[in-house]
A and B are shown apart, each in its own frame.
Chain A
């Protein structure tokens, strides 16, 4: 894999959290390169630092040291507006607990990335959101609130929201973690299908079977990639 094909690169990332006064190092110098269109799974024992690493990769958490390069740009040097723009345009995040806004319908939650400003959501964007809901099999439940959906359905809405904006990198932290195995399998199928879109995917999972769907499996242990 040539370096210039690498879309997102983490170099020697460290991050520690101070717990009860004593600092605990969650990441002890982790490096990872993700190529455009590549599907990477992160596996490892609980507490090994996977979530922390994904948060750093997705710009949601600032590392203590190390470099994060996106498209060759050092994100530590980027301004807040630039980071916001990257999060908005290029990154999509799916969490273990399908974070939807409880007072917006499935369709509106899917449209959320387009609701950043005063400019109203366009017809085209709406059609696109509906398409994404269709793709995750929820077209008939577009007008439901999250509370009226099952856990698996909520996670699928979160996936639709991640798909709606043509992101370049999708981060998924245990997307099937809160779902039963059958529902998890459907969600996994969807994520595997997304690869066809040319999207890079970084997925944390405890499920070895799902991890094997990836192009590459990265194993973490005690704050380090092994």
Chain B
């Protein structure tokens, strides 16, 4: 039993008021905590998608016109004015930049135009091992990833349009002049991806380079950075320095757009939470102020027993701080579990488990305690300035 007993007992006696304050503050904390947990998970998920959705950076030869495009690379230009990058040299240069550690995948590509049963089609030569890393969302609907050099992986829309089935042969009748009688074989058909991959045929880059007599030639290189937050602009400028004759573009499109909307929602909820907390603070202030008037006599007794002004101030502050402390603890724990529910509703639970951080719990409780004591600063000061005579003289 000490001076805090006085504060806590009163809070317990006025349990309706105390629990109301607790409720408001806990609600504010719950929304802030749940928000930060959820937005962290969603953000991490989006970041993963940002990598898996495709390259962040596209390295291509300098070109003027843009018409038909795949992956941002202008296919139309190729018909008239085809320029190539040297695969080995380009890769070596990319590997040499200072920010290499932020690059996860380098995926070179060669686009070959072909006719399948009279219909023009694009065959994109890729390194399948790298492409799989780049496009984590790929699933093969039929067959498998090509195992043979002449194997083809066909996009879902292309397969439908060209009537291609597993095992079908695709003769290579290239405008640019391929080896006579080169035959490609459909080994797999991609499930729809919603991307440009649906419309093309994907083959082994090395094989296509050989049969089209373009050794080590590629049309463009896709480069995936490790994260959305990493210094893309710096990577781009470093690439520009080592590859002066190329065009370097960043493609962060949709995902980044989503990131922006997540950030917006985050800000929105954050401001709502702040409003809740501010409302709570003014509730504490007002209820404390009326409590001070109600408890004038108590204050008089305490002063007559030799309690200093500081002690009286401390009693009122401690009561407010206790509410904040408890609300912080309850709110944090509740917010932790509420975020599980939210993630379940958003179907995002498969992502890495949320770490429960005791340090954050303590910090939240302390910050809330500070907030409520600040809110009760004026009432506590009023209480401290009450003269004992004022409180005790009965007329």
Q: Tell me the A residues contacting B by CB distance below 8 Å.
A: 51-52, 55, 58, 60-62, 80-81, 84-89, 91, 93, 95-97, 99-104, 108, 111-121, 161
Contact call B308/A84, Cβ cutoff below 8 A: yes
Residue of A nearest to B388 (CB): A60
Whole-angstrom CA separation of A100 from B297 in the bound complex:
9
Check A84 against B4 for contact (C-beta < 8 Å): no
| B105 smallest CB distance to A (angstroms) | 61
Which residues of B are found within 8 Å of A84, using beta-carbon distances?
306-308
B309 on the interface (CB 8 Å rule)?
yes
Tell me the bound Cα distance from A115 to B318 in angstroms: 14
CB-based closest 10 A-B pairs? A88-B306, A103-B13, A61-B389, A87-B306, A60-B388, A121-B1, A103-B9, A99-B301, A84-B308, A120-B2
Which of these, B3, B309, B387, contacts A115 with CB under 8 Å? B3
Q: Does chain A have a CB within 8 A of B305? A: yes
Indicate if the CB atoms of B305 and A113 lie closer than 8 Å.
Answer: yes
Question: Given the complex of chains A and B, what is the CA–CA distance between A116 and B311 in angstroms?
Answer: 7
Q: Do the beta carbons of B5 and A108 come within 8 Å of each other?
A: yes
Chain B residues with CB under 8 Å of A96's CB are 394
Q: In the assembly, what is the distance between CA of A100 and CA of B308, in Å?
A: 18
- Identify the closest chain B residue to A83 (Cβ): B306
Given known contacts A51-B393, A60-B388, A99-B300, A119 and B306 CB-to-CB distance under 8 angstroms: no
B303→A117 contact, CB < 8 A = no
- Residues of A within 8 Å of B1, CB to CB, are 108, 111, 114-115, 120-121
CA distance A161 to B304 in the complex (A): 12
Give the nearest-CB partner of A87 in chain B: B306
Q: Which chain A residue lies CB-closest to B11?
A: A103
Q: Is the CB of A116 within 8 A of B307?
A: yes
Tell me, yes or no, whether B63 is within 8 Å of chain A by CB.
no
Given A95-B392, A108-B5, A118-B3, CB of A103 within 8 Å of CB of B304: no
User: When the two chains form their complex, are residues B305 and A117 in contact, meaning their CB atoms are under 8 A apart?
Assistant: no
26 A-B contact pairs sorted by A residue (CB < 8 Å): A52-B393, A61-B387, A61-B388, A80-B309, A81-B308, A87-B303, A87-B306, A88-B307, A91-B306, A93-B304, A96-B394, A97-B394, A99-B392, A103-B9, A103-B12, A103-B13, A108-B1, A111-B1, A115-B1, A116-B307, A116-B308, A117-B3, A118-B2, A118-B3, A119-B2, A121-B2
- Whether A117 lies near B311 (C-beta < 8 A) is yes
Q: How far is the CA of A50 from the CA of B241 in the complex (A)?
A: 96
How many B residues touch A, CB cutoff 8 Å? 29
- Choice from B6, B297, B389 contacting A60 with Cβ under 8 Å: B389
B144 in the interface (beta carbon within 8 A)? no
Q: How far is the CA of A112 from the CA of B315 in the complex (A)?
A: 13
A103–B295 Cα gap in the complex (Å)?
12
A100 to B305, CA, bound (A): 12
- Are B305's CB and A87's CB within 8 A? yes
> Within 8 Å CB of A100, what residues of B?
301
Docked Cα-Cα span, A89 to B305, in Å, equals 8
CA distance A223 to B13 in the complex (A): 42
For A86, give the chain B residue with the smallest CB separation: B306
- Supposing A99-B300, A118-B4 touch, asked if A55 and B392 sit within 8 A by C-beta, the answer is yes
Which chain B positions have C-beta within 8 A of A104? 5-6, 9
CB distance from B358 to the nearest CB of A (A): 25
Which of B4, B309, B392 has the most chain A CB within a 10 Å cutoff?
B392
A113 to B307 alpha-carbon distance, docked (Å): 8
Q: Chain A: which residue is nearest B13 at the CB level?
A: A103
- Interface set, chain B 1-37, CB cutoff 8 A to A: 1-6, 9-10, 12-13
* Shortest Cβ distance from residue B157 to the other chain A in the assembled complex, whole angstroms: 75
Q: Are A55 and B5 in contact (CB under 8 A)?
A: no
Q: How far is the CA of A87 from the CA of B312 in the complex (A)?
A: 15
| Docked CA distance A117–B3 (Å) | 5
Cβ–Cβ contact A101 & B298, under 8 A? yes
Inter-chain contact B301/A101, CB cutoff 8 Å: yes
Is there an interface contact between B9 and A87, defined as CB atoms closer than 8 Å?
no
Looking at the assembled complex, report how far the CB atom of B212 sits from the nearest CB atom of chain A, in whole angstroms.
Answer: 85
Residues from chain A with a CB closer than 8 A to the CB of B10 are: 101, 103
For A109, the closest partner residue in chain B by CB is B301
Assembled-state Cα–Cα distance A55/B388 (Å)? 9
Residues in B whose Cβ lies below 8 Å from that of A80: 308-309
Chain B residues positioned under 8 Å from A111 (CB to CB): 1
Expressed in whole angstroms, the Cα–Cα distance for A85 and B278 within the complex equals: 39
Set of chain A residues within 8 Å of B2, measured between Cβ atoms: 115, 117-121
- A contact residues around B302 at 8 Å (CB): 112
Alpha-carbon distance A118/B302, docked complex (angstroms): 15
Cβ contacts under 8 Å, A101 to chain B: 6, 9-10, 298, 301
Known A-B contacts A101-B301, A102-B13; A116 and B389 likewise in contact (beta carbons under 8 Å)? no
Considering the chains assembled together, what is the distance between the CA atoms of A58 and B392 in angstroms? 12
- A93, A99, A102 — most chain B CB neighbours (10 Å): A99
